[in-house]
Structure formats: structure tokens, C-alpha cells
Amino acid sequence: MPNATEPKLISGNSNRPLATAIARRMSMHRGIDLGLVDARVERFNDQEIFVEVFENVRGEDMFIIQPTSNPANDNLMELLIIADALKRSSAARITAVIPYFGYARQDRRTKARTPISAKLVANLIAESGIERVLTMDLHATQIQGFFDLPVDNLYASPVFALDIQSHFGDLSDVMVISPDVGGVARARELAQRISAPLAIVDKRREKAGEVAEMTVIGDVTGKRCVVIDDMCDTAGTLCKAAEVLLENGAKEVHAYMSHGVMSGPAVERITNSTLKSVVITDSIEPTESVKKCEKIRIVPTAPIFAQAILNIWNGTSVSSLFDQRTLGPIYEGVYSPK
């Protein structure tokens, strides 16, 4: 049953442009102004976070838009403190919209005496008063099970499929590549959406952050290869994979990454690499160097997040957004309909 009041959005400092774009998109859908709630999220001199909400939120359905990207600790604390402020202000329900979920790579114990930080963050979120989480492309889908509250995990692959169909034209020579064995399920899903074959780059690491050896499983000769992964951090593995694919006969290599973490030398590596293009979403606010890089293109996530928020608020299906036929009309104006 639809709610009597409209959803209300509030944003931390992590990705204000995305929050503003989501609010603008929702305003267009609802036909009324759904601007961000007036609030301040500031620092004391010792860098403690202070939040003050200037509007009445009693009994409101609140959505906090806050990726927990770099600086992850600051952005996570902003999210938790905003949630506490809303809870103490008698908000009816608090949903955390976390386009990029930080600490997701620490989802299991790979060695003795190491933490499962993703579970710890899930506990913190639940204790802060947040009742629901909306995110995109978790590093590992089992992280949903770390929460004792509903988690809606959106996928970038339907949006990527629309982008590929719009920019690649004839897809007969396109092949989807998984950069490792662990990402096969993600790559297979995209391959099925665009009716393309699948290959795998098997990588072996001697230690974290360093790739010792790469082997291509599958025939990529004469193919336009599309590497798909959930994040691009330092881009070392991605650039190396592109070289290996070209050495094995690929015509050109493109990459689609859900989250452009882009740490350290990532942009420089991509600029100097053999990659034809790298497509990322705006789940993490891109830096100026990312925006200026000619090889990097950014696709918007505001349309899918705006619709997901409205579906949650209205009590309708979020999983309908997993289908690119549903996303097509939502992304009209971004991609030409096929």
C-alpha cells in the first residue's frame, strides 16, 4: 500500500553529486520537488563528526545516501552518526543507500588471526538504527547474510548490457572475460544478457596486490574482449589482463567495472595501458583525474537507485530492476532504445 507521505533523502559528504542526481530523478518521477533534507555534516577541530538535521523528520521514511568509499572510515562514521541522529529524531524507518559498500573485500578469514570486517560493519549498521540496506554489486553476495535486516543488492550488469548494446553495435565478435575464477558468475550473467561467449583469465598471486602469472582459458582470437569485474582499485591486474588477452590474439580490450575505486597509480596505469576503454559507474564520486582520463567513461547510477528507492518506499519489487527490459525506459535519454 503506498505511503501517505513522500520519501525523504539525506546525504553525507561521500558522494553529494550522486545524491543530488537521485533526488532530481525522483522529483521527476513524482512530479514534486524531492530535494535533499537540509542538514549539516561537519567536523570538529579534532575531526570528530557532527550532524545536525534542520528539518522535521518525525514519522518520515528516510533514505541516507552515503557510499563508504575512500576515506572509508570517515564515510562509514558519517553514515552511522546520521542514522543515530534520525533515529533520535523519531524517523519512522531508516534505509541506508550505500552504492559502494566498503570493507566488502574482508568477507572471510583467509589466514589465521584475521578479521571478518564486513560482518563487523554489518553489525555496526544494524546497531545504529538502520532498518534496511540498498547497495550495488557487493564484492561477495554472501555479505547479505551478514545482516539481520533486509538487504537489496542491485546489479550494474543490466546497465552495462544497455551500454554495450548502445556503443558496440554488432556484437558478433564480442567476448565477455572474467578476470579471475571467482568472478565467473558475474561475467556469465553479462554474457547471457548480450548473448556473447565467455572466457576466463586465471590469475595466481604470490601475495596481495601482486599477480605472479596469468593464463587465458578460452579462445579470444579476433575478439573484442569485455572484462567485467565489481571494482577497479589500483588497476594493476586489469592492465596486465589486457596485455595477456592481446598477446593471445584479442582484437581489442574494454573493461566494465561497477565501482571505480581508482587508488594510487590507477588512472596513470589505465592511460598508459593497452586498454581501449574502461567504463565505471558513479557509485564512488570520480576524482578530477578520473574525469579527465580519455580512456575512462562514467555511466550514471542515479536512474536505477532512484527507482529502487521509490520501489522500497512504495512496497513494490526491487528485483524487477535486474531486467534490462525494465531498465530500458528508466535509462531513456542515456541510451538509445534497441
Considering only CA atoms, which of 246, 283, 241 is closest in space to residue 262?
283
pLDDT recorded at residue 337: 47
Question: Which residues are tagged catalytic?
Answer: 203
SS3 assignment for 41-110: EEECCCCCEEEEECCCCCCCEEEEECCCCCCHHHHHHHHHHHHHHHHHCCCCEEEEEECCCCCCCCCCCC
How many C-beta atoms surround the C-beta of residue 6 within 10 A? 16
Domain extents in the chain: 8-156+302-330, 157-299
Q: Which ranges of 169-301 would DSSP assign to H, the alpha helix?
A: 184-193, 236-247, 266-271, 288-292
Cell triple for 66: 552515503
Question: Could you give the dihedral angle defined by the CA atoms of residues 268, 273, 278 and 280, in that order, rounded to the nearest 10 degrees?
Answer: -30
Instruction: For residue 9, give the 3-state DSSP assignment.
Output: strand
- Tens of pLDDT along the chain (338 residues)? 445 589 999 999 999 999 999 999 999 988 888 999 999 999 999 999 999 999 999 999 999 999 999 999 999 999 999 999 999 999 999 999 999 999 999 999 988 999 999 999 999 999 999 999 999 999 988 999 999 999 999 999 999 999 999 999 899 999 999 998 888 999 999 999 999 999 999 877 655 555 568 889 999 999 999 999 999 999 998 999 999 999 999 999 999 999 999 999 999 999 999 999 999 999 999 999 999 999 999 999 999 999 999 999 999 999 999 988 888 899 987 875 44
129: alpha, beta or left? (left if phi > 0; alpha if psi -120 to 50): left
Domains 8-156+302-330 and 157-299 share a fold: yes
Which grid coordinates are listed for 319? 528485483
As to burial, measured by CB atoms within 10 angstroms (0-12 exposed, 13-18 middle, 19+ buried), residue 4 is: exposed
Number of Cβ within a 10 Å radius of residue 261: 19
CATH code: domain 8-156+302-330 is 3.40.50.2020
d(CA 109, CA 103) in angstroms, rounded, equals 13
Strands (E) located in 147-251: 151-154, 174-178, 198-207, 210-217, 224-232
Q: Residue 43 is placed in which grid cell?
A: 567536523
H-helix or E-strand containing 311?
Answer: helix 302-314
Contact 135, 152 (CB under 8 A): yes
What is the C-alpha to C-alpha distance for residues 5 and 9, in angstroms, rounded to an integer?
Answer: 13
Total length of the chain: 338
CB 255 within 8 A of CB 238: yes
CA proximity to 138, closest of 165, 168, 107, 163:
107
* Domain 157-299 classification at class level: alpha beta
